[in-house]
Structures are given as structure tokens and as C-alpha cells.
Structure 1
Amino acid sequence: MVFSLFPRPPGRRRAHALGGSTILAAGLLAGAVQAQETTIALDTISVAANAGGPLQPDVLGRSVDAIGLIGPTPGFRSDRAVSSTKTNTRQLDVPQVVTVVPRELITDVNATRVDRAFDYVPGLTQTNNFGGLGTFAYAIRGVTTAEIYRNGLAANRGGPPPLIDTQNIERIEVLKGAGGALFGRSDPGGLVNIITKQPTATRFVEMGGLWGSFEQFRGTVDSGGALNDEKTLLYRFNFAGGSQNSYRDFVGDDRLFVAPVLSWQVTPDTKLTVEAAITRNSVIVDRGVVAVNKQLGFVPISRFLGEPGQPTHQTDEVLQVRLDHRFNADWQMRLAAQFNTGTLNGESAEGRGLLSDNRTVIRDRNYRDYSYDSAIGQAELVGRFRTGDVGHTLLLGFDRENFDNRQLYLRSNFNTFPYGIDIYNPRYGQPLPPLTRASNTLESVTDTGFYAQDLIDLAPQWKALAGVRFDLFERSFKQRVVGTSAEQTRAAASPRAGLVYQPIPEISLYANVSTSFRPNIGTDAGLGAQSRPFEPETGLGYEAGAKVELYGGALVLTGAAFRIDRQNVLTADPNNSGFQIAAGGVRSQGFEFTAAGQLTPELRLIGGYTFTDAFITKDNVLPVGAPLLNIPEHSGTMLAVYEVQSGPLRGLGVGGGVRAAGERAGDSSNSGFKLPAYVVADGLAYYKYENFRFSLNVENVFDTAYYVGSVSQFRVDTGSPRRITGAMLVRF
């Protein structure tokens, strides 16, 4: 089946091109809905599929009831997460913090894109959305990264990630601190691992509709069940389609998303899972607003400074195949492969500077035609055994990744053809300047990694973690316009170690040290270095903290102090727009507190506070001590939801959230331009009755004007004004 989105004529108000597709898909499933014999309550579906019946406890005395390494669904309580160790281990037993965004939270805030779900992750700051094309970069603990994984496999190798839809997401795990010992080349602040919805033996169909401000419409389908009487062949199917305008003039997007999953329990100990995801987006590139004399607020946040009617089209197709096998209660393995291909093409006008009249933005015309392909293979073995009185959970792994990234990027010369636009009285539809600057690159990367990890039960109160990964990285880069090329081969080891002390079962005190390795790759790196690539970035992180379980484990509190040092860090070249330079050394240090869980059967919450001091420690261009772009010293979030559990109002939920960030550097040139601090409040209410759920959300209740991130004074992303959405879910 092939889906496509077509450009529409320019104009601020646009028809809902996908509405018909959504309604048609819903209608096709109506027969399946009518075939159900029982009503399934909205909160009774579990996606953690078991591999046959439970086995006897393993050699360490732990119950083993599943062979999948993706792990269970934690909910707001999030006492378990797989991203820190790739094993099913309690968070209190691991010397690292993982913040979990559960499916329940995604539903509570009506998040349709993954970046909206990020809003309530303490310590995570959004930095660059690539003109609205996707979650291109975010920062964890003051370290900007673009690392996103899907079920433990890299989701954005070779190209910018598309607008990641939340429809098939079961939960999002945000790993704090370096993950290089398991995931390979990455950034030491942390990474995001998306866990997708899996097949279930319970047969159901869930249909949803969402309507909101700025002409937003969205339809969804989530269905699953058994395909045979033995319930060894299970499926899950997710669909989402929608269209919306924006508070930004002439800006909007269309999206179509399909994600089928099929699992086959070959034997009680062997399971094969095949999973796909197809995404189609049509988006207007929007680089935000400009600052005048380093001050924001001179133009309304609705002012669009590009050109109407210039959509960029994205395609992304993913296929994952996983084979899980359990040898016995103590040993299991997983073989996994992922194939990913995608494209991005379209035209846009993007701001590059402001003339001395403080009202004319000079722009360039941009045409992009990108395509990428990647293939990842992975094999992992997990075993539990004892050496005397010491228990071990051993992970051995191997992975190999290949990707090709092709980028044709044409631009006009804004010095010769300014293509200017008045920020106070914009005139669109000017003659297009010629595309005189060309870049046509081919980048090929191969990365081979071997890793080992041991979780050690030293004594009832003491646990240790030791791990190391070895990477062999090979890269070929060609600039076909001028005929230049660059080759690099790098080998690196990424060790980590940690210690946990539990004076009582509900409290863990921990410390860890970890390293990271990330080659400086990409078009800008290759062009900026001309004949040779930049040296790879390396990182070293220290962390110490405490984790506490309260109310029988229903509420988990964490506190951590951290310090991260990085070398050979790239940053935007202040004298050459679109290129990068090596900034030298940077440091990020601070502390954070988080809380997540179910205080009572009625009240659940998630939130925290982070203090981050991120600055340059060594540089040939910028002064030592200069703050890092988009990183606030103070930031915090809190979301609380109360749901009535009994009586005539049973199923009624109300909640609210607060998102806050302090003042941040607005560009990388240490010019003194700052993004102002903000505090934004959100509200929500819903009512569940049998198999129906009705909800109403108000984002930015007090209509606060704020700015979420920037690339420079001439590209500042605005936060949404008050947005109201209503949604309905029905499950059969």
C-alpha cells in the first residue's frame, strides 16, 4: 500500500487533505469492531506479551515469565526500565537514572508528536526542530544530542528524524548519562529510547478522534488480538492520520502513519516479531521569528518569514525483525535487524540575518533533496549465574550498522540576492533568486560494535555494574560538486562502572563513571574540514545520587549530581552560516530531582527540577566560560492527575501541569542574546465511562508568550499560545 501527500495552493487556511483517508480507514475497520463479542475496558489491555507460561525462578531467585528484552510496561511508577542495562532489572538496582514517559501520560496530554511528550521530562530541553521537520536536536543535562532509538535500535541514522508520531508508542525511556557502553557512539548527557506497542492476545479495536485549535483534526485506530485459536500468532495495528494549521501564518502539516506488528510464538521459548512503521509528512519549513537588537517581541509570534505554499515532503519506512529465544530460566538471547529508508525534499525561504534598518530580514532560497538508507543487525545474550556467593547478570552483544546518506542542497546567495522581507509588513511572492550555491554529498558509514556488561550482586546491600564497548567506525564522505572526498577510520573503547548501596530495600545510594565516543560526521563537518574530518568527540561523566521508593514502591524519587566533560565539540561557525567549527572543550554540571508514580489510587504525578551549569572550558574562538546555546540553568516540570475511583463520578479525571525554564543563551557566538525565562501552565480533564474516554486539554492556559529554543538571533522557535484540544476514544 502506498500513501502520498500532495502540495496545496498557498494560503493560511487549508483543507483537511487527510480527513477522508482517516474516515475511510475507520470505516474499513468497522466490521471488525462489530464482530467483537465483549466490551474491553480502556485500561485492561496489556502489551507485555509473555513467552508461554512462567518458568521456575532463575539461579538468582528472580521470576522469569517473558523472553522479550523490551521489558514490561511500567506506568507512572516506572520502577523498571530497560534502557540503562538492556535487561529486566529494577531501577533501584542500577547506578543510573531513567525517566519514563508512559503511555498514560501521552494520552493524558493528548500528545500526537514525541516532542510534546518531552515537555514533562525533567532535565530535557528542546533545542532545534529543524524548521518544524522533526525532533532534530534536544539536550539532556546540558548536552545537545540527536540520539533517538526505537526498541534499542537507532531510529535516525543517516538523516534528520521525521515528525515521530506517538500513536504506536507504548512508552518513552529517557536515559540520563552516557549510554555509549551499550548503544555505541552517542552523547554523554543521555539518549531517548522509544518502546513501541506490541501484539496482545486480547482482541480489541480502539478508535479515536481529536479536534483542536488551529483547525486540527486527527483520527486513530489501534487494534490487536490473536489470529489463531492457540493464540500463538498475534498482531497489533496502529493508524493515525490528520491535518492541522498553526498559530503561525501559512504554516501547517499533514501526516499519515501506519504501524503493523505481527508476533509468532514458534515454541513456548521462541518468539518471532516483525514490526513496520510507515510515515508520510508534508510540512512547511518554519524558522521562527527574529530578534531586533537582541530583543524579542517586536513582531507577533504568528509572523511567518518564509514563503507560503512551499511544502517539504518527508517519507520514512522502518522494518524491524526480532527473534527472542529462551534456553532456560537463566539464559536467553535476542537477534534483531532493522532496515530504514527515507526521503526529504522541498523548497523553503529561510532567514540569514537582519539589515541595519532593523526591519529587513535577508533570506536565501533553499532546495533540499535528501535520501537515506540504513541497516542494523544486532545479537545479544543474557545470562544469570553465580560465582560462589556473588550473582551475575551478564550481557554480551554485537551489532553492525551501515548507512548511506545522500544530500543535494541548493541555495541562493543572500549577499548577491538578499531576497529580503519586511518583518513588520511582509510582502510574499517575490521573484525567486537563482540557486547558485550547490552541495551534493554522499556519506557512507559502517560501525561495528562489541559490548559486555555485568550486573553483580556482591551482597544483599551491594551491587555493581561494569561494562565496556569497542567500536570500529569507518566513514567515507564525498562532495561531488567539487570532487573532494574524505575517509576516516576510528576505533574506540567506551567503558563504564557503577556501584549501588542499599541500606534498606527502599533506598539506593549510587555512583557511576562513564565515557562516550562520537565521531564528528555529517555534511557540515566534511565541508568545514575540507580535506580531512574533525577529530571525534569524547566525553567523560561522573554521577552520584539516591533513589527512594515510597508507599510500597508506588512513588519513586531520585536525586543526582552530575558532571560531564567533552572534548572536540562542534558548534555553529559564527562567521560562516551553515557550517561548523570545533569549539574545543565544554562542561556541563549540576543536579536534578525527579518524582514519578502513584501517590494514591487517585493521584499520579511526574516531574522534577534540574540545575545545569553548561559552559565552554577551552576554545580558540569563543571565550572560556561562555554559556552553551539553549541550556537554562534552572528548569522544571510537574504534571499531576487526579482520577475519581468510586461513586457517581468514578472515571472523572482532572489535572494540571507546569513547565518552566530560565534564561538561556540564544546563539553560539556569545553575543549576549538571551532567550527569556518562562513558566507555562497546562490543564486537562477527562471522563471514562465503560469503553469510552472523553477528554479536554488546554495547553498554555494563560496564553503566555514564550520561546522554546533558537539557532541564532534570526531563527527563534516560538512556543504555542493557548491551544485547546478535545478527544474521544472508544474501545470494543
Structure 2
Amino acid sequence: MIARTCDAVSDTETTICRWLCTLVQILPAIVAMTILAAAQASAQDAVWSFDIPSQSLPAALDAFAEQAHVQMLYKADSVRDLQSAPVSGQLSPEQALHHLLQGTGLSFQSGGPNTITVVTPPAEPNHESAPPARDRPRTEKPLKVPEILVKDVQEREGDVSYVAEGTKTATKTDIPLIETPQSISVITRSRMVAQEVNSVAEALRYTPGVQAEPFGFEPRFTFLRFRGFDATQNGLFRDGLQLRNPGFAVSYNLEPYGAEEIDVLRGPASFLYGQGSPGGLLNYITKRPTRESLHEVQFLTGNFGRHEGRFDFGGKLNDSDVLSFRLTGLFRESGTQLDQVPNDRIYIAPAVTWQAAARTQITFSAHFQKDQLGSSQALPAEGSLRFNSNGRIPVSRFTGHPDIEKQNRTESSLGYEVRHGLAPDWDVVHKLRYSSTELDGLTTYSNSFGTDKRTVSRFAYGSLGKLNALTIDNQVHGKFSTGPFQHQVLGGLDFQRITVDLRQTFGAATDVDIFNRYDYGAPFALPPVFLNQRVTQLQTGVYLQDQVKLYDHWLLTLGGRHDWASDETQDRMTGAPSRSQADRKATGRAALTYLFDNGLAPYISYSTFFLPAIGVNSNGQAFTPETGRQYELGIKYQIPRTRTLLTAALFDLTRENFIQTDPSAFLQVQRGKARSRGLELEGVASFDSGLDVIASFTLLDNEVRETANPLEKGKRLPQTPGQFGSLWVKYTFSGGSLKGFGIGGGARYTGYTYGDEANTFRVPSYVVGDAAIDYTWKHYRFALNFNNIFNQDQFGCFDRSGSFFCTFGERRTVVGSVTYRW
């Protein structure tokens, strides 16, 4: 099947393509041999090349751990607000760390093989230590360098910040957020804990530029829209590897309790990740093994009959640092705001890290998730959003049939990640994951509204799908200098193979009286099969990136990628010959950043994207890929000596060549072109006083520029607000009689939207309030969280068969939790 990806290219390109495909298949074996050789050698050089400027001590320790290829253990409180001394030259790790800690009052000791622990030495009488580095004059000019945040070895009590120090999502390299030349938000674990998020959609509510609930309350999966463009099928990633969902064959609704953080990258990302949405992507970062002992159990209860238990364990598997583990899981039984719609889940995710050698680390991870859910319920606009003489339709109205309704999903994955240091400044990363998702769904939905404004006609739709995916990403990272230029280079080769078996049913169902809460309609026959097919998609991509720093201030980022993609569809119903399509495309990014000494970092960037458009035109010719480009101008400000990050971004994003249905001929055509321009503002801060703040605002100006439907030309994209914003503030008392008590709240504003392409049906704006109260005492944490505390109406509306339907947003939810950590 891989060879078919290369069939439609020239002879020269075919040779290159087949070589790349072959390399993808044999590279895991090469990496495995490298691991075995490294494990047998287990040698560590006595002297290393260090280049660590004076900076905050946590960042300096993480840089030391990266350059010395060791693990650092330290208490976050003991190093906070301290400044390191600069270290440069050929030194042993002991010599380098001794210089690094000068003036901090700290020392270190061996914590085991390849592990160093930073400690506070006992106080000595009649001895005055040198003043802390933060109080003495600095003679070295500060240099911003990539920071590696070693989250798994820091004390958890100190890891309470809403502000992340770095991310790999935007560049696949370890750099601080301040040096990332693209708009990105990082939702940390502590932020998710404070807000008690129970879905990925909830985690995104205080994030600019992204919509996760455009159609209201949806328990089945998470919609993703970035900067006005949908990314639900191809914008979801787990640990940097794509979770593609071709044609909504299956669906994903990732468990947020299993995430260490969630990264939201806005704007095109094809230059690193291949085909995808022009608006951006979401990268779900799973919890990883930790060498620090971790034990957490949690019990939750809430309205709609919710009962849930969680656990999170981690630590060393033996007395050495060779093996460490993480085991996360939950069990939930719950109803929802809708009658007959459950939200039950079983989730378990084990992971083990093996320190095979001084420079080689392998992490094995797996997960299993089983959901028993129901579908969202679209109600006629007249009776929900608008006036109806018959009254108001109950919010909990279930329009399906309880005897046949189901949404059962089972997903699992197994994979590993290998990191091997080739030299002090060079390493390789190899990731592989095999995943499988099965969906067994049948729903009865409202289709049109009768003239009596009571009777609703319905259809039944079923989907039985199974998706298997093999995803591989191979990376080489390196650092070197050419004169005054400091290079951080990345080269990569990735591969995906996705197989989807899909069987869908469709048929008429009986009518119901929408105002009779218990009218499920007369019995009807199960819908017949109308589609039975297998889809196989392949993608191979090579990419190269260079981040060039000049005089510690200028940062130029250049990246490019070339993809070969193919799609084959086998019709199992008619037995017709398979339909295949092959595409190839190059994409890229160029960005320039200036790093001021005061923490300001303005940047400008240009990037492109592509997305295969599956299908043929009226002449039987395959559609060409969707393409587009983005210009972005932004500025980031990291206030010195604080955990505060402020960002602003202006963007101009164009999407071209997307497929539409010509309303005059009812044929698919490739004429779509839309533009989205806007402004995104975000501020995130965690102050030592106990105050945490999240603020965001998005201004969107989107327009359909070219279309096969003249009614939508010049109009806004449906279900897309022109502006939305949010503010969250939480304060935790750090002393006195109220020590450990926290109280917080937030407000979310969403501007008006349109429910149709012609912009004739306007959906009003709304403001939703949230609140939280918690108390931490010894090993316990008690919390009470409110979402939509005032039970404000909110709607996602659309046109279906000439009638407008609306789905209510999430109603008021109350969740109480008790957590015990030891």
C-alpha cells in the first residue's frame, strides 16, 4: 500500500519516495539496534561541553540536566526566585553544577545512577554565606536559551502554576513560549484541576481563538474550530501524533484527567505535521512516569446523578532510577442534562519509563477507554430559542427512542517513545503508536417542524465504524554554531497508515409531539444500510527546521516539509472497483523574532498549509488539495521575575479550494475560498501571593470570498462569533487562619452568530459565569465547582431541511470532589 502513494509522481520523485517509504519501515529496527548498543555500552563521558548563561535557577537546572544527560531532583520552593551563575566550557558534571549553584546557598548530592539531588545544607553557626545570586550585581549579559521543564521530578506541591515555561508543540523542540513565533496557549494541569474540567471542550473555554462547543452541549465528541475553521477531523493530536478521523467514521473525546497539559496551536502547522486544518491543532500531552512517589485518589459527585472515582499513581518500580511508572484511571456513572443520555466512562492509562543507558530513555505507554454515551438533541428553534404559542420545549427533551438509541465507543492504544543522545548537542527521537477505535452508534434525530408547531418528523441514522492507525515520527535534533549564528536544527520523517471500516444506516422514523416529554414515537423498523466501505489513507512526510539565533536577540525560524498522501476507498456494497487518489504538496514557515532583555518578544511569521480534498469533479478528475496561507504579527511579554505571560497576535488567514455542493446542479465542485482575519489577546499569571488570572479576547472578521452558492458570498461563516472573551480569577490564601482556602470565578462572553450560510438566522450573544471553592488541609483537598452558575441559556443553531434547529449549551452543573494525596 505504501508504494501506491508514489505511483502518481515522476520517475525521479518515485525513486525518492520509495526510498523514504522504505526508510520509514526499517528505521524502527535501526533505532532498536542503537538502543541495544547504547544499553550495552552504558558509558558516560567524564567531561561535557556546557553553555548555560545566568538565568532563573529552575531553568538553569533544567538546562544542566539536558546538557549533562542526567535527572535533577529538587524542591520547587527551594529554588524559586533564585538566580544561577553562568557556566561555560569543558567541565565534568560535578564541576559545572558547583559553578552553577555558586551564591545560591544550595548544594547537591548523588541520588543514584544518573541522578543528582539539589539540597539545602545545614546552617552553620557564625558563618555568613554569600548573598543570593538574585541580590548581587550581574556582570554577565543574560542569554535566553531553550529551557527543558522536567515536570516529573519537581515536587507536586510546588507545581501550581497556570503558566507553562515551554512547549514542543509549535516547533517540536524545547524552547520557551516567549521564543515561539506563533500564537499558542498551554493549559496546565493545575489550571484543569482548579476549574475541574470534565472534557476537553471544558478545558478550552478560557482559551482565545478556539471554539469547542459551536453546536451546544455535545457528549459524543469534541468539536474543534480554530480561527473560524473546522479541525474536528484532522486537528487532534496526542503526544505530537495525529488522531485523524476521516469522514467522522469514528469520534474522539479524550479524557482530560489523563492529560498533563493541553496545547492549542493557532494557525497552519502543515510545515511540521503534514495535512491538517488551516486554523490550528490541539495537542493532548499525556501524563508521564515520575521518579517522585505519587499517590492520588479522588471521589466526585454532582448533579444529573454523577458518581466518579479517579486514581493517579507513580514513582520508581525499584530502588534504582532505571524503571519508573505512571498509572492513571477513572470510573464514572453519570446522567446528563438530557433525558435518556448517559455519560459513563472507564479509563485506564499505564506507562513505564526505562532508563536504558545514560543517554537512552524509552517510555512505553498504553490506554484503554470505554464510553457509553448518547447524542446531543437538536430542538426546533421555535420553542427553544424563539417564541412558540404552544410553550417552551423542555431543555431535557430527548427526541430519540430509548429502546434503540446508543453511542458506544471503545478506544485503545499502545506505543513507545525513544530518546537517545548521540552527543552533548545531538539526539534522536523515535515515536510509534498503534491505536484502534470502534464506534457503535444509532440515533434518531429531528428533521423538520410541522405547520402546527408541535409535530417533528424524524430520521434514524446509524454508524458502525472501526479505525486502526499506525503513526510513526522520527526526529533528529542538533545544536551548533557558525560564527555568530547559533543553530538549533530539526530533521524528521513521519508516516501514517489509517484503515477505516465503516457501515452506515439511514431511514425514516415516526413523528413525535415535541412538547410531550415522554412521546418517543410509534415503533419503527431499524434503518437499512446505505454505505459499507473501507478507506485506507497513507501519508509520508519529510521536514526540516532551523532556528537561528544571532547576538542573543534575533531569532530566525525557517521550516519546510514535503508530503506524499494517498486515499483508497473500497465499496463493499456494490463491489465497484476501488477509487484511489494520490497527492503531494510542499508547505513551509518563515518567522522572525526579536528578544528584548526586558522580556518583550515581537515576531512576524508566514506559513502555508494543505489538506487533501477527496473526490472527483463532474469530469471524473480528482480534486486538488485545499491550500492556504497565513500572515501573523504578534508580541509576547514575559514579565521578569514573575510567572506571567502576555501575548497578542494579529493574523490574516486564507483557505482556498475547499469542496462545496453546487446548489444548481447538486454536484461537488471545488470553488470555496474563505478568509479569516482577527486579533487574539491572552494573559496568564500565577503570583506568589496565591492569585491566579486567565484573561483572553478574540476578534474575528471572517468572510466567504468565493463560493458555488451565491447566497453565502460575502457572508460570515455560520456558528462563528465575531468576538468572544473570558476572564478567570482565583485566590488561594497562603497564610493565617484561612491558609489553604481558595475561591475563584470566571465569566465567558460569546458574541452573536448566524445559524445559516446566508446569515439570515441570528443567534444572540450570551455571558456564562463559573465559580470554584476549595480547601486544602494536610493531604486532603475539598472542592466545589459550578459551571454556568446562573443557568444562562446558550444556543448553537443550524438549518436542517428548511427548518432551524438549536441545541442548548451546557446547563448549570455542580461537582463536589474530595482528593487524598500521599
Report the TM range for the smaller structure's normalisation: 0.7 to 0.9
The alignment covers a number of residue pairs equal to 677
Match in the other structure for 1:52:
70
Q: Which amino acid aligns with 1:447?
A: Q
Question: Compared with structure 1, are the counterparts of its residues 244 and 576 closer, same or farther at alpha carbon in structure 2 (3 Å cutoff)?
Answer: farther
Match in the other structure for 2:342:
252
Larger CA deviation: 104-113 vs 208-217: 104-113
Match in the other structure for 2:593:
500
Query: Quick one: distance in 1 between partners of 2:664 and 2:213?
Result: 21
Match in the other structure for 1:231:
321
Question: Compared with structure 1, are the counterparts of its residues 357 and 400 closer, same or farther at alpha carbon in structure 2 (3 Å cutoff)?
Answer: same
Q: Which amino acid aligns with 1:313?
A: N
- The answer as to 2:511 corresponding to 1:420 is yes
Q: Which amino acid aligns with 2:690?
A: E
Of 732, 746, 752 in structure 2, the residue corresponding to residue 643 of structure 1 is 732
SS in 2 for 1:463: strand
Question: Compared with structure 1, are the counterparts of its residues 397 and 631 closer, same or farther at alpha carbon in structure 2 (3 Å cutoff)?
Answer: same
Q: Which amino acid aligns with 1:482?
A: T
Q: CA deviation at 1:520?
A: 2.5
Of 545, 564, 567 in structure 1, the residue corresponding to residue 653 of structure 2 is 564
Larger CA deviation: 76-85 vs 226-235: 76-85
User: What pairs with 1:90-239 in structure 2 (closer than 5 Å)?
Assistant: 90-127=176-213, 132=218, 134-146=220-232, 147-158=235-246, 159-239=249-329
Question: Compared with structure 1, are the counterparts of its residues 726 and 385 closer, same or farther at alpha carbon in structure 2 (3 Å cutoff)?
Answer: same
Q: CA deviation at 1:421?
A: 1.8
- Maintained 8 Å contact 2:219/2:343: no
What RMSD over aligned residues (CA atoms) do the two structures have, in Å? 3.1
Greater helix share, structure number: 2
Q: Which amino acid aligns with 2:597?
A: I
- Maintained 8 Å contact 1:57/1:64: no
Q: Which amino acid aligns with 1:108?
A: A
Q: Which amino acid aligns with 1:333?
A: V
- The answer as to 2:793 corresponding to 1:705 is yes
Q: Deviations for 1:523-582, whole angstroms, at most 9, x for unmatched residues?
A: xx68x98956543211211100111112524211111111110112246888999x9765
Q: Which amino acid aligns with 1:169?
A: A
- Maintained 8 Å contact 1:173/1:194: yes
Of 679, 689, 713 in structure 1, the residue corresponding to residue 777 of structure 2 is 689
SS in 2 for 1:327: strand
Of 548, 557, 573 in structure 2, the residue corresponding to residue 465 of structure 1 is 557
- Maintained 8 Å contact 1:704/1:721: yes
Of 375, 400, 423 in structure 2, the residue corresponding to residue 306 of structure 1 is 400
Match in the other structure for 2:473:
378
Match in the other structure for 2:571:
479
Q: Deviations for 1:656-709, whole angstroms, at most 9, x for unmatched residues?
A: 011111111213x32512222110000001001111110001111111111256
Question: Compared with structure 1, are the counterparts of its residues 594 and 253 closer, same or farther at alpha carbon in structure 2 (3 Å cutoff)?
Answer: same
Query: Quick one: distance in 2 between partners of 1:327 and 1:57?
Result: 21
Q: CA deviation at 1:112?
A: 2.0
Larger CA deviation: 130-139 vs 84-93: 130-139
- Maintained 8 Å contact 1:316/1:342: yes
Query: Quick one: distance in 2 between partners of 1:493 and 1:680?
Result: 43
Query: Quick one: distance in 2 between partners of 1:404 and 1:70?
Result: 39
Structure 2 unaligned regions, length at least 5: 1-60, 73-85, 91-142
- The answer as to 2:538 corresponding to 1:446 is yes
Query: Quick one: distance in 2 between partners of 1:114 and 1:47?
Result: 29
Q: Deviations for 1:454-481, whole angstroms, at most 9, x for unmatched residues?
A: 1110232211110011000011012332
Query: Quick one: distance in 2 between partners of 1:684 and 1:606?
Result: 14
- The answer as to 2:431 corresponding to 1:345 is no
Query: Quick one: distance in 2 between partners of 1:433 and 1:728?
Result: 47
Taking only the aligned residue pairs, the percentage that are identical comes to 27
Q: Which amino acid aligns with 1:197?
A: K
Structure 1 unaligned regions, length at least 5: 1-45
Question: Compared with structure 1, are the counterparts of its residues 468 and 222 closer, same or farther at alpha carbon in structure 2 (3 Å cutoff)?
Answer: same
Structure with higher RCO (Cα < 8 A, 6+ apart): 1
Question: Compared with structure 1, are the counterparts of its residues 233 and 657 closer, same or farther at alpha carbon in structure 2 (3 Å cutoff)?
Answer: same
Query: Quick one: distance in 1 between partners of 2:408 and 2:275?
Result: 29
User: What pairs with 1:708-723 in structure 2 (closer than 5 Å)?
Assistant: 708=796, 710=798, 712=800, 714-723=804-813
Question: Compared with structure 1, are the counterparts of its residues 318 and 665 closer, same or farther at alpha carbon in structure 2 (3 Å cutoff)?
Answer: same
Query: Quick one: distance in 1 between partners of 2:456 and 2:254?
Result: 31
Question: Compared with structure 1, are the counterparts of its residues 730 and 67 closer, same or farther at alpha carbon in structure 2 (3 Å cutoff)?
Answer: closer
Query: Quick one: distance in 1 between partners of 2:438 and 2:604?
Result: 43
Q: Find the structure with the greater CA-based Rg.
A: 2
User: What pairs with 1:274-673 in structure 2 (closer than 5 Å)?
Assistant: 274-292=364-382, 295-296=385-386, 298-309=392-403, 310-412=405-507, 414=508, 419-425=510-516, 427-433=519-525, 435-436=527-528, 438-484=530-576, 485-521=578-614, 533-570=622-659, 582=670, 584-622=672-710, 623-667=712-756, 669-670=757-758, 672-673=760-761
Larger CA deviation: 130-139 vs 168-177: 130-139
Q: Deviations for 1:111-133, whole angstroms, at most 9, x for unmatched residues?
A: 12111111111121125679835
- Maintained 8 Å contact 2:201/2:222: no
Question: Compared with structure 1, are the counterparts of its residues 596 and 502 closer, same or farther at alpha carbon in structure 2 (3 Å cutoff)?
Answer: same
Question: Compared with structure 1, are the counterparts of its residues 70 and 391 closer, same or farther at alpha carbon in structure 2 (3 Å cutoff)?
Answer: farther
Query: Quick one: distance in 1 between partners of 2:320 and 2:528?
Result: 64
Question: Compared with structure 1, are the counterparts of its residues 709 and 230 closer, same or farther at alpha carbon in structure 2 (3 Å cutoff)?
Answer: farther
Q: CA deviation at 1:329?
A: 2.4
Q: CA deviation at 1:649?
A: 1.3
Q: CA deviation at 1:599?
A: 3.7
Query: Quick one: distance in 1 between partners of 2:799 and 2:161?
Result: 35
Query: Quick one: distance in 2 between partners of 1:249 and 1:580?
Result: 38
- Maintained 8 Å contact 2:216/2:795: no
SS in 2 for 1:376: strand
Match in the other structure for 1:39:
none
- Maintained 8 Å contact 2:205/2:748: yes
Query: Quick one: distance in 1 between partners of 2:763 and 2:613?
Result: 28
Query: Quick one: distance in 2 between partners of 1:695 and 1:112?
Result: 14
Q: CA deviation at 1:204?
A: 2.5
- Maintained 8 Å contact 1:67/1:269: no
- Maintained 8 Å contact 1:565/1:587: yes
Q: CA deviation at 1:285?
A: 1.8
Q: CA deviation at 1:172?
A: 0.3
